């Protein structure tokens, strides 16, 4: 559990003040260090009796893009806790209810009812039932944001799938089910131990509406010796309290609502429009309209809740974060002039097969790791033992080199340029989680991550679930960060290859906002990083340090192969970003090209494709790049080649064969000498003992083989020790 606000979890989420705690754990306010968005960070013990955050995260991802449902950005483990990062929201309806002296007007309740029904309808349409309706789980947006009056639904830890997403087959009716939810608001059928369905969520909503109108419910405050007995009393009181008595003194539409939902069948689809219309009618009959003004907005002489809700902030808050506005930017023309004045030239030192030396006055040093593409069970069609050895040694190679480079070069930051795993897009969630753990054991230090085609697919082969899952473990796929006087633009060009607007949306939004978003200073030079290399003319060569026989980058269609960003999209990216340098991955080999862009192609920028970091991706000498930024703002890119591990293994093989040959020759020579000595001794004895019959000494083949085997075992053991040590 974080002890202070300096803790960073999930690579780039800074933990701030505690907002509250409950049975699930503790929730903190936090900040996404990549874009300064405010978030909520929920901590749950990993050894909890009933862990919920993983399922809650899956529900958020299933409902991604739904109005009134916060976005989930990350789920993972940090020490002894599960962590979920979601939007930071404002106070809950329970908090606001307290602020309004525990009474809401008919207008406020009827208006809220329409939105709350819509939220639950969205959940049901995504094949889930919520099962924990209560005022604490409905929040409004933060003040002074576009979502300030939006009603949000949070906390999906109890949500359950009630029908098959494909066949729409409903779950079967069952009885003797244990209670789930909050007893004050749960349906009568839930008290009776019956399987919950859509009708139960809606009945619970009806109880919440009456709670807001009345200030309390008839079954509150009941005493009992045990919780079980208390729940039984609450259930009995609900059954004996008539709807007429419960809704007495309030518009009849509230009673009609409860009568309708309590008569619904187990599998029956509710008429959500009819239910919403009830409360539209209630507003009209009460002489009101939905003008977006709630009771809490009328407090403090019309100033609203302002600071009064600070002490009531919900321990479950979450909210649509917005970037902190920055003022005082110059006009676009001034920005361009400033950028041209500040734009540094990209210098490069290329030192193949050796380590580079960094400048002495370096201010920042980024290590760029290209395409680790961690080998897994699906990487190659090889026998099991060979595949296990490939996984082990390729992982060991990357782990040792990563550790050695950080120890020797001491980079200030690390950027991994996509394709983290070879088959990340294909694994199920459990296998993916295990592979993420293996990846982080190889690359244990914090880094900026990019997404690759092997992580989520390419083009129309991109899998939305794979994209969401990648973001949950490694953060957003399109973002910016500012360091050392530069703005680094991490652009998800893999998602941009898709024609699906949902998949493209985040990357396009960031790309479109680069020219106008005041949180990304246009006056500072930008460095673009993309997994997919930008378009270049066919047969454009990559420079003398490319190792492949092909001196150009291939452009093959398909998510398993190397590709290029399209020509049209490349122009758009370069014109929007206006970078001073571009770094890419995907190709596995080094490539350096110069792009022209601008209205009259009057701008140029150098793009360097970083070679793969893995020994298992077909490159004789894997590599890494360091991007040094000195105190004068100059960029110096150093190219470092790593050892040829496959060549070393082949050398080991040659040495092993040579060793065996020498051992066999030596052993045969020794046997020959021993036989000759025995023969001469026998001849000498013959002169002394003429009656002894001399027979030729026969070579004991079995003994020869046994001796050879012993020598071979010694040689093999020595060889294996050398491999593991080296």
Binding site members: 42
The H helix count followed by the E strand count for the chain is: 20, 22
645-688 vs 701-725: helix crossing angle, rounded to 10: 150
Q: Token pair of 131, please?
A: 């099962």
Question: Are 416 and 470 a contacting pair, CB within 8 Å?
Answer: no
Cα 38 from Cα 321, distance rounded (Å): 5
Question: Are 161 and 127 a contacting pair, CB within 8 Å?
Answer: yes
Tokens 């071979």 — which residue?
712
Helices (H), 241-331: 243-246, 252-262, 272-285, 299-302
Beta bridge partners of 529: 490, 583
Q: What Å distances lie between residue 512 and 275, 521, 569, 573, 602, CA to CA?
A: 40, 14, 12, 9, 22
Cα 299 from Cα 297, distance rounded (Å): 6
Question: Are 586 and 418 a contacting pair, CB within 8 Å?
Answer: yes
Question: Are 623 and 640 a contacting pair, CB within 8 Å?
Answer: yes
DSSP string, 196-244: P-HHHHHHHHHHHHHHHHHSS-TTTT---SSHHHHHHHHHHHHHHS-HH
Terminal Cα-to-Cα distance of the chain (whole angstroms) = 40
Question: Are 346 and 635 a contacting pair, CB within 8 Å?
Answer: yes
Q: Token pair of 678, please?
A: 């025995």
Q: What is the dihedral of CA 357, 491, 610, 350, to 10 degrees?
A: -40
- Name the burial class of residue 462, with classes exposed (0-12), middle (13-18) and buried (19+) by CB atoms within 10 angstroms of its CB: buried
Residue set of the binding site for ATP: 42
Question: Are 342 and 521 a contacting pair, CB within 8 Å?
Answer: no
Cα 202 from Cα 262, distance rounded (Å): 9
From the list 87, 95, 98, 132, the catalytic residue is 132
Strands 72-78, 38-45: parallel, antiparallel or unpaired by DSSP? unpaired
Assess whether 422 carries a catalytic annotation: no
Question: Are 154 and 136 a contacting pair, CB within 8 Å?
Answer: no
Longest Cα–Cα distance in the chain: 140
Question: Are 478 and 507 a contacting pair, CB within 8 Å?
Answer: yes
Cα 505 from Cα 31, distance rounded (Å): 23
487: helix, strand or coil: strand
Beta bridge partners of 413: 366
CB atoms within 10 A of CB 379: 19
Residues taking part in catalysis: 132
């Amino acid at each position: 559990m974080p002890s202070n606000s300096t803790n960073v979890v999930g690579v780039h989420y800074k933990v701030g003040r505690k907002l509250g705690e409950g049975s699930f754990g503790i929730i903190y306010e936090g900040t996404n260090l990549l874009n300064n968005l405010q978030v909520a960070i929920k901590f749950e013990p990993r050894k909890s009796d009933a862990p919920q955050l993983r399922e809650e995260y899956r529900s958020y991802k299933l409902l991604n893009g739904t109005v009134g449902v916060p976005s989930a950005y990350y789920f993972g483990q940090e020490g002894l806790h599960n962590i979920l990062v979601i939007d930071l929201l404002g106070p809950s309806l329970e908090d606001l209810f307290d602020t309004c002296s525990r009474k809401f007007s008919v207008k406020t309740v009827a208006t809220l009812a329409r939105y709350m029904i819509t939220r639950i309808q969205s959940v049901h349409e995504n094949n889930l039932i919520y099962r924990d309706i209560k005022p604490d789980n409905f929040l409004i947006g933060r003040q002074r944001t576009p979502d300030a009056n939006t009603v949000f639904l949070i906390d999906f830890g109890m949500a359950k799938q009630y029908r098959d997403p494909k066949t729409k087959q409903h779950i079967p009716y069952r009885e003797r089910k244990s209670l789930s939810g909050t007893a004050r608001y749960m349906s009568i059928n839930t008290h009776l131990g019956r399987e919950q369905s859509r009708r139960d969520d809606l009945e619970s909503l009806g109880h919440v509406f009456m709670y807001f109108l009345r200030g309390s419910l008839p079954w509150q405050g009941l005493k009992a010796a045990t919780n079980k007995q208390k729940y039984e009393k609450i259930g009995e009181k609900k059954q004996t309290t008539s709807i007429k008595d419960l809704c007495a003194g309030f518009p009849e539409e509230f009673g009609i609502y409860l009568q309708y939902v309590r008569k619904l069948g187990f599998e029956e689809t509710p008429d959500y429009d009819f239910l919403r219309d009830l409360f539209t009618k209630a507003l009209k009959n009460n002489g009101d309209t939905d003008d977006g003004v709630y009771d809490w907005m009328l407090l403090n002489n019309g100033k609203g809740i302002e600071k009064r809700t600070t002490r009531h902030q919900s321990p479950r808050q979450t909210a649509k974060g917005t970037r902190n506005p920055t003022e005082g930017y110059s006009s676009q023309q001034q920005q361009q002039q400033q950028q041209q004045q500040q734009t540094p030239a990209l210098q490069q030192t290329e030192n193949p097969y050796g380590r580079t030396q960094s400048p002495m006055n370096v201010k920042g040093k980024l290590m760029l790791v290209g395409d680790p593409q961690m080998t897994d069970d699906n990487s190659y069609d090889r026998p099991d033992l060979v595949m296990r050895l490939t996984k082990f040694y390729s992982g060991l190679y990357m782990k040792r080199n990563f550790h050695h480079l950080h120890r020797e070069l001491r980079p200030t930051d690390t950027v991994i340029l996509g394709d983290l795993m070879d088959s990340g897009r294909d694994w199920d969630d459990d296998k993916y989680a295990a592979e993420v753990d293996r990846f982080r054991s190889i690359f244990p230090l914090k880094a900026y991550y990019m997404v690759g085609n092997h992580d989520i697919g390419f083009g129309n082969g991109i899998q939305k679930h794979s994209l969401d899952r990648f973001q949950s473990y490694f953060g957003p796929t399109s973002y910016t960060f500012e360091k050392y006087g530069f703005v680094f633009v991490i652009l998800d060009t893999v998602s941009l290859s898709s024609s699906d607007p949902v998949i493209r949306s985040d990357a396009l939004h960031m790309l479109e906002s680069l020219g106008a978003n005041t949180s990304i200073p246009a006056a500072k030079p930008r460095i673009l990083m993309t997994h997919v290399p930008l378009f270049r003319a066919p047969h454009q060569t990559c420079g003398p340090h490319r190792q492949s026989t092909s001196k150009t980058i291939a452009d093959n269609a398909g998510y398993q192969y190397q590709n290029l960003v399209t020509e049209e999209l490349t122009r758009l990216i370069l014109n929007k970003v206006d970078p001073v340098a571009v770094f890419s991955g995907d190709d596995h080999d080094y490539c350096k090209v110069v792009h022209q862009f601008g209205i009259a192609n009057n701008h140029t920028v150098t793009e360097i494709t970083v070679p793969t970091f893995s020994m298992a991706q077909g490159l004789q000498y894997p590599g890494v790049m360091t991007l040094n930024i000195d105190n004068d703002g100059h960029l110096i890119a150093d190219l470092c080649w790593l050892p040829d591990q496959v060549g070393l293994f082949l050398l080991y093989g040659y040495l092993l064969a040579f060793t065996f040959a020498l051992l066999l020759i030596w052993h045969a020579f020794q046997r020959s000498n021993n036989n000759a000595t025995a023969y001469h001794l026998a001849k000498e004895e013959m002169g002394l003992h003429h009656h002894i019959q001399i027979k030729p000494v026969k070579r004991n083949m079995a003994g020869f083989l046994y001796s050879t085997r012993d020598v071979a075992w010694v040689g093999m053991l020595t060889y294996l020790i050398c491999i593991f040590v080296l």
